[in-house]
């Protein structure tokens, strides 16, 4: 669960104008911002890039805050390792509900797949990565078939894989942060990534969880169901990380999650 301090920090981050975060990290390449319809996305690619695999990132923030600048060390690190990096905005609660946010993600992905070759990316080697709320949206859209041709999913720490099971674990109703995002129990099934596991072929999936309450149990159950379908699923025990650190530290030298994700990417997109 995201604590109050984390929400405050993310709120302050969200108020920074586009480009402010990149300006503070002088080693990061400057992104090219484009409008994909509902919102904007940033594409980080070196000059002369060609046929590089792509990491398409969906930020977190309780479905309510955050923006495409919340990327920490990811752009510079991934470009240095041969990738193109994309970070997207999507409309936030309360302007847009979670179903609309998932649709925004799918539209952003469709834009990237159709246009990324112009920036040196390979449209057949796109990996979708998300943290927290972005992890939920990556899992939901990826498993329900909304990201056609996606090469792999990297799911970084959510408790919202199965909303009905989550409510049961939380005493019969969702905690406030989830209840605000998913107020209608009639929609829990359609907005749960786990709903779409059986009966569909899935790309390789990497699932990481932090030490935040309930993350390990839910992630393990989710991966077990994926593996039962024959899906190649990797589970990373991130109990050494807080919910925010498991995202923020990606790309830092010696970071265990970074090493595990890069091994997964090498095995699945080269």
Binned at pLDDT 50, 70 and 90, residue 27 comes out as low
User: Do the Cβ atoms of 247 and 131 come closer than 8 Å?
Assistant: yes
The alpha-carbon radius of gyration of the chain (Å, integer) is 17
Does the structure show a pLDDT above 90 at 9? no
- Average pLDDT (10-35) is 56
Binned at pLDDT 50, 70 and 90, residue 36 comes out as very high
**What pLDDT digit, counting tens, does each position of 67-83 carry?**
999 999 999 999 999 99
Can you give the pLDDT at residue 29? 74
φ, ψ (nearest 5 deg) of residue 236: -115, 120
Say what percent of the chain tops pLDDT 70: 90
**CB neighbour list of residue 64: distance below 8 Å, 6 or more residues apart:** 92, 93, 94, 133, 180, 181
For the whole model, what pTM was predicted? 0.90
Can you give the pLDDT at residue 86? 98
- Average pLDDT (4-18) is 40
Say what percent of the chain tops pLDDT 90: 86
Can you give the pLDDT at residue 46? 95
- Exposure string of 219-244, with b = 16+ CB inside 10 Å and e = fewer, is beebbebbeeeebebbbbbbeebbbb
Question: Which sign does the torsion angle of CA 106, 110, 111, 115 carry?
Answer: positive
Of 14-28, 51-65, 80-94, 123-137, give the lowest mean pLDDT range.
14-28
Does the structure show a pLDDT above 90 at 22? no
Does the structure show a pLDDT above 70 at 7? no
**CB-neighbour burial class of residue 81 (10 A; exposed 0-12, middle 13-18, buried 19+):** middle
What 3 state SS string does 211-231 have?
CCCCHHHHHHHHHHHHHHCCC
Can you give the pLDDT at residue 62? 98
**What pLDDT digit, counting tens, does each position of 94-131 carry?**
999 999 999 999 999 999 999 999 999 999 999 999 99
- Average pLDDT (33-56) is 97
> How far is the C-alpha of 101 from the C-alpha of 99, rounded, in Å?
5
- Average pLDDT across the chain, whole number: 91
**Domain extents in the chain:** 4-269
Q: Measuring CA to CA, how many Å separate 228 from each of 50, 157, 161, 201? A: 37, 21, 16, 12
Q: Provide long-range contacts, Cβ within 8 A and 24+ apart, for 111-114.
A: 111/34, 111/36, 111/37, 111/41, 112/36, 112/41, 112/43, 112/54, 112/56, 112/86, 113/148, 113/149
CATH code of the domain made up of 4-269: 3.40.50.1820
Binned at pLDDT 50, 70 and 90, residue 28 comes out as low
């Amino acid at each position: 669960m995201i604590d109050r301090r984390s929400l405050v920090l993310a709120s302050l981050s969200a108020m920074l104008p586009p480009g402010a975060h990149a300006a503070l990290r002088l080693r990061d390449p400057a992104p090219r911002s484009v409008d994909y319809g509902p919102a904007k996305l940033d594409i980080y690619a070196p000059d002369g890039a060609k046929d590089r695999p792509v990491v398409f990132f969906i930020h977190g923030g309780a479905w309510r805050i955050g923006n495409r600048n919340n990327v920490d060390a990811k752009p510079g690190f991934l470009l240095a390792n041969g990738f193109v990096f994309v970070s997207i905005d999507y409309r936030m609660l309360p302007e847009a509900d979670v179903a609309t946010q998932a649709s925004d993600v799918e539209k952003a992905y469709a834009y990237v797949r159709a246009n990324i070759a112009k920036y040196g990316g390979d449209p057949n080697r796109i990996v979708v990565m998300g943290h927290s709320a972005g992890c939920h949206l990556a899992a939901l859209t990826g498993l329900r078939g909304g990201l056609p041709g996606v090469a792999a999913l990297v799911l970084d720490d959510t408790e919202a894989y199965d909303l009905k099971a989550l409510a049961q674990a939380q005493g019969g109703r969702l905690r406030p942060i989830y209840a605000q995002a998913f107020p209608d129990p009639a929609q829990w099934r359609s907005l749960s990534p786990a709903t779409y596991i059986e009966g569909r072929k899935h790309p390789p999936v990497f699932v990481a969880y932090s030490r935040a309450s309930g993350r390990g149990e839910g992630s393990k159950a989710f991966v077990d169901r994926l593996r039962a379908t024959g899906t190649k699923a990797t589970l990373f025990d991130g109990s050494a990380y807080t919910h925010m650190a498991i995202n923020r530290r990606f790309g830092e030298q010696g970071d265990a999650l970074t090493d595990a994700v890069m091994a997964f990417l090498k095995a699945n997109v080269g």
